[in-house]
Amino acid sequence: MSLDDAVSKPHDRLVKALAEDLTAVNHLIRQRMASEHAPRIPEVTAHLVEAGGKRLRPMLTLATARMCGYTGPYHIHLAATVEFIHTATLLHDDVVDDSAQRRGRPTANLLWDNQSSVLVGDYLFSRSFQLMVETGSLRVLDILANASATIAEGEVLQLTAAQDITTSEEIYFKVIRGKTAALFAAACEVGAVIAGKEDQTVRALAAYGDALGISFQIVDDLLDYTGSTATGKNIGDDFRERKPTLPVIKAIAAADDTERAFWHKCIAKGQQEAGDLPHAIALMTRHGTLEATRAQALYWAEQAKSALRDLPDHPLKPVLTDLSDYVVARLN
C-alpha cells in the first residue's frame, strides 16, 4: 500500500462520508468555545482547534455511531466532547513539556502564556462535561469521565517516569494507554453506546480504539527520532525532555556499560551536549530498536484491524480498517 493510499484515502473517505456531521460538530465547537466574559478563551481555543488538526478522534465517534445505526443528534455532542477533551490535554501538555510548536505552529503557551493555556484547558474540560451531560446517558458520562481521569493519570505517570532510565516497557505501555489510547477507545465506545448496541459490539469498538491509539502513540514517539519537520514535530523533543519512550527503553536494555553511562548522562542527569542526539539515534540504529519499535506499531495496527473483523458489514467498516494503515503510514 502506497503512502497516498494509506494516509490520504482513509481520512479523505471519512471526511467525505461524515461531511454533514463534521460541519455540525465544527459549528457546535465554535458555539461552545465562546465566552461572553473572557474573550481570550475563544482566541486560545481557535488557535489550536483551527490549526489543521485532522479531527481523527471525533470522526471515530461519528463513524462508530453511524456504523451502529444511530440516527439521533447526540453523536454530534459526543464528537465535540471528544475534541474538547483532546484540545484541553494538548494545551496542558504544551505547558508541562514547555513546547514551542504544535501542528507546525507556535504553541498557545508561547503566544500567550502558561496561565492562559492551563485555564483555557480547564474551561474546555468543563465544556466537555456540559456537552456529554446533554446526551442524557449516564453510561456515556461514565465512559468519558473515566477516560478523562485515565488521561490525567497517564500524564502524571509519564511525568514521574521521565528522567528514569530504569523505566520498563510495561510502564511505557501504561503511560501511552493512559495519555493517548484511552481517548481513542472512549471515542469509539460512546459511538456504539449512544446507538444502544449490545456489549459485544461496544467491547469490539473499544478494543479497536485502544489498539489504534497505542499504534498512533508508538508511531508518534518513533517519529521524534526518525521524522522530519514536515510531521509538525520538533525532532528530538522527547530526547531533550528526557522522556524514556519505547526506542530509548529498548536501547537502554541492550546497552553496554559505556552506552548506559551515556543514557544516564543524557536522560537521568540532563547533561546534554551538541552531538548527543545524533549519537543517541546511532545507538538506537545499531541495536535495531527503531525497527523493533516500528514492528510494535505495526503489531498494534493489526490488532485494531482484528477487533473489527467480526462486526457486521457497513460502508464505514473498511474505512476504519484502513485507518490502522493510516496511523503507521507516517513511518514510510
Q: Parse the chain into domains and list their residue ranges.
A: 3-331
Whether the Cβ atoms of residue 231 and residue 330 lie closer than 8 Å to each other = yes
pLDDT computed for residue 5 by the predictor:
46
Whether the Cβ atoms of residue 32 and residue 40 lie closer than 8 Å to each other = no
Say what angle helices 182-194 and 74-96 make with each other, to 10 degrees: 170
The CATH number that domain 3-331 falls under is: 1.10.600.10
SS3 137: coil
Whether the Cβ atoms of residue 213 and residue 183 lie closer than 8 Å to each other = yes
Given a cut of 80, whether residue 8 has pLDDT beyond it is no
Of 159 and 79, the structure prediction assigns the larger pLDDT to 79
**Grid coordinates belonging to 22:** 463534521
Determine what percent of the chain is predicted with pLDDT higher than 90: 69
Whether the Cβ atoms of residue 299 and residue 306 lie closer than 8 Å to each other = no
Note the pLDDT tens digit of each residue in 32-75: 988 888 888 888 787 777 766 678 999 999 999 999 999 999 99
CA distances from residue 145 to 132, 150, 198, 312 in whole angstroms, order as listed: 9, 9, 21, 29
Residue-level length of the chain: 332
Given a cut of 50, whether residue 280 has pLDDT beyond it is yes
pLDDT computed for residue 230 by the predictor:
55
**Grid coordinates belonging to 233:** 514535530
Given a cut of 50, whether residue 3 has pLDDT beyond it is no
Phi, psi (degrees; rounded to nearest 5) at 228: -140, 170
Given a cut of 90, whether residue 184 has pLDDT beyond it is yes
Predicted TM-score (pTM) above 0.75 = yes
Q: For residue 197, how far is the Cα from the chain centroid?
A: 25
